């Protein structure tokens, strides 16, 4: 039997405080938001944010009627819930390798700063394809192993890995960088059409970031994004499911029971107090407003 892929669980880590808040990453945050604003449609039904974490960029998705935040970390989602509340938002603690959604639930999905934690990309992409409706948008950000800094380090013999080889490099446990052609092949094999490529975060160097104001960095980055060259450390892809490769239409109701399913059996769920229950009696908890599909209660 195939072994289950390892999961990089952020749990109750201090990712928010240690990586973002006051940590000199306003430029990265701003360029990511700018690219999202460019790629997102003006309106939509239901968006899935995969690996939403504490909801750093969730407020960019306001044009959707319903936003579903999925993450393995219950604690990060509980923090996000404290920020956004329940009106128009749903919080789902689950493994992206085994999603608890019915076919065609979403007309859009995003996955930003998450793919680098996946050792089994085809399985995750197949899951995403399965929960999207026909012609859905999927915005995917990945960490690019063939970036200018890595190429220079390779030239100087300072890199332990080769930025030009297609295979992903695991530079720290469960942290992978990907070659652009590897990613593009994977998404095409999974039924996605690549519409736009936007390379970002060109100026992600402490020295440059300290020397220039954020607004200027963002404008310079925007100019470099226009080249389309996949040589920056981070790349955004605007993907669309090809006609006929997804299924069904998005259910109009925002009632989660119309689109959630048991991730183990695929069966329907009904609510019983603070649990969702399958016909065979498998129970999933709801913890402080977060639907928890990581382990059944029984």
What is the binding site for ligand SAM (CB under 6 A)?
7-10, 51-53, 56-57, 71-73, 76, 95-97, 112-114, 117
CB of 10 to ligand SAM, least distance (A): 4
Shortest Å distance, C-beta 95 to ligand SAM: 5
| Position of minimal CB gap to ligand SAM | 53
State in angstroms the smallest separation of the CB of 128 from ligand SAM: 11
The residue among 60 and 184 lying less far from ligand SAM, judged by its C-beta, is 60
- CB 111: neighbour CB atoms within 10 A? 23
Least Cβ distance, residue 129 to ligand SAM (angstroms): 16
User: In terms of CB distance, is 48 or 114 closer to ligand SAM?
Assistant: 114
CA–CA separation, 260 and 292 (whole Å): 12
- How far, in Å, CA of 88 to CA of 58, rounded? 12
In the bound state with ligand SAM, the residue whose beta carbon lies nearer, of 27 and 97, is 97
Is the CA virtual torsion 139, 263, 86, 56 positive or negative? Answer: negative
Task: Pick between residue 74 and residue 231 the one whose CB is nearest to ligand SAM.
Answer: 74
| Alpha-carbon span 273 to 135, nearest angstrom | 37
Q: Is the dihedral of CA 95, 168, 49, 149 positive or negative?
A: positive
Quote the CA–CA distance of 271 and 269 in Å, as a whole number: 7
Q: Which is nearer to ligand SAM, 242 or 294 (CB)?
A: 294
CB of 152 to ligand SAM, least distance (A): 25
DSSP conformation letters of 226-267: TT--S-SSEEEEEEEEPTTTS-S---S---GGGTB--TTT--
């Amino acid at each position: 039997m195939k072994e289950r892929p390892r999961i990089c669980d952020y749990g109750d880590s201090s990712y928010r405080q240690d990586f973002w808040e006051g940590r000199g990453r306003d430029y990265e945050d701003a360029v990511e938001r700018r690219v999202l604003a460019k790629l997102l449609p003006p309106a939509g039904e239901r968006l899935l944010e995969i690996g939403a974490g504490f909801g750093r960029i969730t407020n960019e998705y306001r044009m959707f009627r319903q936003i579903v935040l999925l993450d393995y970390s219950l604690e990060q989602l509980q923090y996000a819930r404290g920020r956004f509340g329940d009106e128009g938002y749903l919080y789902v603690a689950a493994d992206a390798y085994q999603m608890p959604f019915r076919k065609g639930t979403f007309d859009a999905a995003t996955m930003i700063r998450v793919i680098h934690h996946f050792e089994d990309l085809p399985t995750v992409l197949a899951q995403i394809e399965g929960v999207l409706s026909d012609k859905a948008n999927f915005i995917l950000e990945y960490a690019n192993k063939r970036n200018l800094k890595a190429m220079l380090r390779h030239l100087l013999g300072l890199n332990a890995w080769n930025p030009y080889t297609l295979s992903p490099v695991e530079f720290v446990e469960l942290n992978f960088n990907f070659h652009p052609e590897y990613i593009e092949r994977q998404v095409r094999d999974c039924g996605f059409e690549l519409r736009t490529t936007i390379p970002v975060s060109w100026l992600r160097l402490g020295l440059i970031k300290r020397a220039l104001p954020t607004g200027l960095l963002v404008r310079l980055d925007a100019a470099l994004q226009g080249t389309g060259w996949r040589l920056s450390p981070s790349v955004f892809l605007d993907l669309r499911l090809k006609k006929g490769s997804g299924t069904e239409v998005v259910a109009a109701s925002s009632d989660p029971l119309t689109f959630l399913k048991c991730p183990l059996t695929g069966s329907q769920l009904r609510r019983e107090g603070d649990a969702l229950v399958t016909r065979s009696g498998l129970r999933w908890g709801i913890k402080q407003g977060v639907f928890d599909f990581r382990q059944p209660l029984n």
